């Protein structure tokens, strides 16, 4: 004979479901961090008051012409932004087409959003910069000490294809600026050249998002894959691996160029760039 559900039993089931839901909402971001996503990083403080940093992002807002929405991976912009800002720097945002910077939708939501992402949503100054980013053509490299290129799937469509960005990075390198990137942001180096007109990054030690991570995330139809393209350009490519490379992390410095493997590297790359600048 089947037992009838009593009101008290239903209430107990509901309480259990609510408790489990609260547990998941609270603990999943912590579990992901424990696995290696956006690891806690104890930044060293430097005084760069009055000096300036520029963050350059994609302007591509879809995967292909009519694909899913995409853009810059939020933390790859927000984490370095606040790293620079909190060390006394003035920070500008630029993008390939200027104007509003598109965001990868999932990167700004639970459980992937970082504390920097949450801070940015309440920061009216930052939001104004996101909606009115500088056209990369109009960037005056002389105004900046640090130039940082953020990644995200959108970057595979325009950073490595931009002749103008290549010229800006070439100029920055020639003028002894400190240049950094994370993840797909490294594609912004592809069209840069040295004083002799040769590839800026040939024989350089660098890192970026791995082909393994791209395959694991299942978004393989993007036009440029950083590891493949950097190796093709003659880069001495370095990376770490994990069960899933989304949880891996690696930072490489070669002179004034600092690169990070993926979204986990933003704070470390930015802080190392700041450290280098503090000695100049």
For 112-133, give the secondary structure using H, E and C: CCCHHHHHHHCCHHHHHHHHCE
- Where does the pLDDT of residue 118 fall: very low under 50, low under 70, confident under 90, or very high at 90 and above? very high
The pTM of the whole model exceeds 0.85: yes
Count of CB atoms within 10 A of residue 251's CB?
21
* Residue that is written with structure tokens 């579990």 in the block: 31
Query: What pLDDT does 7 receive?
Result: 78
- With pLDDT > 90 as the criterion, what percentage of the chain qualifies? 87
> Which DSSP symbol is given to 150?
-
- What are the boundaries of each domain within the chain? 50-278
Cis bond leading into 157, ω under 30°?
A: no
Classify burial at 279, counting beta carbons within 10 Å of its beta carbon; exposed 0-12, middle 13-18, buried 19 or more.
Answer: exposed
pLDDT recorded at residue 1: 44
Question: Is the confidence at residue 2, as pLDDT, over 80?
Answer: no
- In contact, 226 and 175? CB cutoff 8 Å: no
Coil, helix or strand at residue 80:
helix
Q: Read off the pLDDT of residues 52-78 as tens digits, 9 standing for 90 and up.
A: 999 999 999 999 888 999 999 999 999
Q: In CATH, what class is 50-278?
A: alpha beta
The secondary element (H helix, E strand) that includes residue 83 is helix 74-86
User: Under DSSP, is residue 31 helix (H, G, I), strand (E, B) or coil?
Assistant: helix
Helix ranges restricted to H, 175-262: 211-217, 226-232
Share of the chain above pLDDT 70, in %: 98
Token pair of 217, please? 């995330």
pLDDT band at 3, cuts 50/70/90? low
Residue 70: its pLDDT value, please? 97
Q: Read off the pLDDT of residues 174-201 as tens digits, 9 standing for 90 and up.
A: 999 999 999 999 999 999 999 999 999 9
């Amino acid at each position: 004979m089947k037992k009838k559900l009593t009101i008290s039993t239903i209430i107990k089931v509901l309480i259990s479901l609510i408790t489990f839901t609260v547990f998941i909402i609270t603990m999943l971001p912590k579990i992901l961090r424990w696995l290696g996503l956006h690891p806690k990083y104890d930044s060293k403080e430097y005084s760069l008051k009055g000096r300036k940093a520029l963050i350059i992002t994609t302007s591509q807002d879809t995967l292909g012409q009519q694909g899913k929405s995409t853009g810059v991976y939020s933390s790859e912009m927000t984490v370095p932004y606040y790293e620079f800002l909190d060390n006394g720097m003035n920070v500008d945002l630029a993008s390939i087409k200027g104007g509003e910077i598109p965001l990868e939708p999932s990167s700004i939501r639970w459980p992937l959003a970082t504390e920097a992402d949450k801070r940015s949503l309440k920061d009216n100054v930052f939001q104004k910069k996101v909606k009115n980013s500088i056209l990369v053509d109009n960037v005056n490299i002389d105004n900046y000490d640090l130039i940082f290129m953020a990644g995200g799937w959108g970057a595979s469509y325009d950073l490595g294809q931009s002749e103008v960005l290549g010229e800006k990075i070439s100029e920055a390198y020639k003028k002894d600026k400190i240049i950094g990137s994370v993840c797909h942001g490294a594609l912004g180096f592809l069209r840069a050249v040295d004083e002799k007109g040769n590839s800026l990054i040939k024989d350089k030690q660098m890192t970026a998002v791995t082909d393994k991570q791209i395959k694991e995330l299942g978004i393989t139809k993007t036009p440029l894959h950083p590891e493949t393209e950097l190796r093709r350009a003659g880069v001495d490519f370095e990376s770490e691996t994990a069960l899933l490379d989304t949880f891996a992390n690696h930072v490489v410095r070669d002179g004034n160029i600092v690169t990070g493997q993926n979204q986990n590297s933003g704070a470390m790359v930015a802080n190392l760039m700041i450290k280098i600048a503090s000695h100049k």
